[in-house]
Amino acid sequence: MSEDNMHLYEVFIRSKRGLDHKHVGSLHAEDSEQALEYARDVYTRRNEGVSIWVVKSSDISASQEDDNESFYDPMDDKPYRHATHYVLPDSVNNM
């Protein structure tokens, strides 16, 4: 059997109603329908989920390590973006 036609998929599982889907791993499949079934067979064997998403890995755009300086460092000196930066006036009691 040829594996040439197989694509890499990322698997997201929601473990309970009300919670978010979480990334649990990846797998190979020929198309998204098959990926969904393999996700069921590989990642929910111990009753881990109530909902599955699969996404072709190539469809995910990811930030790169090299971008870190320009992406995240500029936030270091902007404490006013945190609520804790602000001192509450005494007249505000419960917030």
Site residues (vs other proteins, CB under 8 A): 1-3, 6, 27-30, 33-34, 37-38, 40-42, 45
Q: Minimum CB separation from other proteins for residue 62, in Å?
A: 23
Q: Minimum CB separation from other proteins for residue 17, in Å?
A: 20
User: Based on CB atoms, which residue is closest to other proteins, 6 or 15?
Assistant: 6
Rounded Cα–Cα distance for residues 44 and 13 (Å): 9
User: Based on CB atoms, which residue is closest to other proteins, 42 or 50?
Assistant: 42
User: Based on CB atoms, which residue is closest to other proteins, 24 or 29?
Assistant: 29
Rounded Cα–Cα distance for residues 12 and 54 (Å): 6
What DSSP line would sit under 57-92, residue for residue? Answer: GGG-----GGGHHHHHGGGTT-GGGSGGGSPPPTT-
Q: Minimum CB separation from other proteins for residue 27, in Å?
A: 5
